[in-house]
Amino acid sequence: MNFLRGFTANLLLVDEATFLGDDETVFYSVLFPMLQTTDGTLIASSTPWGKDSAFYKFTQDPAFKVHRVTIDAVIEAGLVKRDFVREMERLTPRERFRREYLAEFVEDELAYFPQNLITQCIDSELAPITDDWTRQVKAPAGRYFLGVDLGKKVDYSVIAIARWDGKEAYAELVGLVSFPLETPYATVIGMVKLICDKLHHVEKVLVDQTGVGEYILEDMKAAGIRSVIEGIMLTVTSKQEILGHMKQLMQTQTLSLYYDPDLIAQINVERYELTKTGQIQFSHPDRTHDDQLWSLALAAYATRTPDTSFMGIGYGVPKNY
């Protein structure tokens, strides 16, 4: 953003301001100085998300004029019907409905990945490599890792693609492929092969084989996927290690995500509970999914090396325990 220094503006519009990387530096050191000489206007808008942000501070500062637009105003304008909103309230997790429809700053206290932690990992300049793997793909150099979370009737199958430059323990999400319910595993395997062929250097494919057995791994190998293919059973212990590793990467800011509201919601909705045995039990509320989260966590876990792995079941326990 340094290239903006020295420019002036009469009006600046900043959308999804909560998710702006390094937001305080951008607002106070870049954008506000651009408006000083013109006595210009800043309009910042966003879905409420996290209270440790410049946008939230704006909403609490009497020097700012705050407009809070809820779903009631949308209904009154005739853009949606109230029956639709009632259905969304029934289907949407309570905290997400309050954020996206009532414009409230709320968060589930049992969220394993707090909103502020997620926000600091979002890179506004990062984008998926492609939205169509059947086309020619221009992939940046680096080592690639895939996480595959398999589902069918209740859960979705999702493939996450992470890139690691190989020099530092730094990974970035560069793709996410979700499949409709009832998608045959053969279709998912075919997409894994297509992605591996397009990227040329996929070092490892880590697959959740819980409930599907080893035959999925054998089918992947038989399909001609040349990458290392590993399966993992998602038990209480392994879930804790996998999500703990992802949380470690996020806390050290060595995992970057592009902005995807559904993925972000799935990461934030994951809840934890400390059992009497000292382990963490993970869950997600009814009417929600965490398939994208687990595919991302598997891809991040696949990047680990002896230097970036950790030992000990208790890693990743939130500080208040």
Q: How confident is the model at residue 212 (pLDDT cuts 50, 70, 90)?
A: confident
Least trusted range by pLDDT, from 61-70, 180-189, 266-275, 301-310: 301-310
At 310 the three-state DSSP class reads: coil
Q: Are 246 and 297 in contact (CB under 8 A)?
A: yes
**112-121, 162-171, 282-291: the lowest-pLDDT one:** 162-171
What average pLDDT does this structure show over 255-271? Answer: 92
Q: What are 149-190's pLDDT values in tens digits?
A: 998 788 899 999 999 876 665 899 999 999 999 999 999 999
Closest by CA to 266, choosing from 245, 287, 292, 298, is 292
CATH 3.30.420.240 residue spans of the chain: 115-302
Which CATH number is associated with domain 115-302?
3.30.420.240
3-class DSSP state of 272: strand
Write the CB contacts of 273 (distance below 8 Å, at least 6 apart in sequence): 110, 280, 281, 283
Q: Would you say 163 and 149 are in contact if contact means Cβ atoms under 8 Å apart?
A: no
Tens digit of each residue's pLDDT (9 = 90 or more) over 11-46: 999 998 888 878 888 888 888 888 888 989 999 999
Give DSSP secondary structure letters for 118-134.
HHHHB-TT---S-S-TT
